[in-house]
């Protein structure tokens, strides 16, 4: 088993799904990739569901990269679907795994292992298919705050998501109470964006 972490995460609010996220670097990356346009718990439960449907106890980048795209999309589309857009997400997950195979020998942990500093880590994360700057910064904050990956300057590279006790993103969720705070923050941001849009129109 490559890249074993051993941390308790509380992102899926489901013990088995969270256990996989805490020990599998690839599952954590895939959960982060899925975390858009669906409730966070649904996104982070995805890696466990995919592993179960593949008949495995972990995700394997080589295996997923080599899957037949249509069959893999069908696997994600089975009820309950892994995501609101299972077809396009299946494609993104395969692209991510293909990239990891090509650049990191399929070992997701090598994306951050032994990295020199925060800006370099952010560059590596932004290089991953499906990871824009915001997603890369949130994942960097998650690595620093909960997974013990703290290269020099990691908080600065993560931007506001790196702030201690900020409750802005999944990086700050350690249980039901913090989940509620992050939800409230996200709703405030949405409302502010909506108000700004209305003011500008």
Task: Report all structural domains of the chain as residue ranges with CATH numbers, in order of start.
Answer: 15-161 (1.10.340.30)
DSSP state, 152? B
Please tell me the predicted confidence (pLDDT) of residue 170: 81
Judge whether residue 2 has pLDDT over 50: no
Please tell me the predicted confidence (pLDDT) of residue 4: 45
Please tell me the predicted confidence (pLDDT) of residue 1: 32
**Per-residue model confidence as pLDDT tens digits over 9-27:** 888 888 898 899 999 999 9
Q: Of 13-22, 28-37, 155-164, 168-177, where does mean pLDDT reach its minimum?
A: 168-177
**Per-residue model confidence as pLDDT tens digits over 108-136:** 999 999 899 999 999 999 999 999 999 99
Mean pLDDT of 20-49: 93
Greatest Cα pair distance, the chain, in angstroms, is: 54
Q: At 34, list the tokens.
A: 């899925």
Give the integer Cα–Cα distance in Å for 94 and 75: 13
In this prediction the pTM is: 0.88
Instruction: Determine contact, residues 117/111, Cβ cutoff 8 Å.
Output: no
Complete DSSP assignment for 81-144: PSSSSHHHHHHHHHHHHHHHHHHHTT-GGGGTTT--BHHHHHHHHHTSTT--HHHHHHHHHHHH
Please tell me the predicted confidence (pLDDT) of residue 28: 94
Q: Is the peptide bond before 129 cis (omega within 30 degrees of 0)?
A: no
């Amino acid at each position: 088993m490559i890249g074993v972490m051993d941390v308790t995460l509380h992102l899926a609010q489901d013990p088995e799904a969270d256990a996989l996220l805490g020990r599998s670097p690839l599952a954590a990356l895939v959960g982060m990739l899925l975390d858009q346009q669906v409730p966070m718990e649904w996104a982070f439960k995805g890696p466990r569901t995919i592993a179960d449907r593949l008949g495995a106890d972990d995700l394997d980048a080589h295996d997923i990269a080599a899957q037949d795209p249509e069959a893999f999309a069908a696997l994600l589309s089975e009820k309950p679907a892994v995501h609101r857009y299972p077809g396009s997400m299946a494609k993104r997950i395969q692209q991510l795994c293909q990239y990891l195979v090509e650049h990191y020998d399929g070992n997701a942990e090598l994306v951050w292992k032994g990295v020199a500093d925060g800006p370099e880590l952010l560059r590596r994360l932004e290089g991953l298919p499906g990871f824009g700057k915001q997603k890369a910064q949130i994942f960097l904050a998650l690595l620093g705050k909960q997974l013990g990956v703290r290269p020099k300057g990691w908080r600065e590279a993560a931007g506001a998501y790196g702030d201690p006790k900020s409750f802005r993103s999944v990086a700050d969720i350690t249980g039901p109470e913090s989940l509620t705070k992050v939800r409230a923050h996200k709703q405030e941001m949405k409302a502010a964006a909506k108000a700004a849009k209305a003011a500008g129109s």
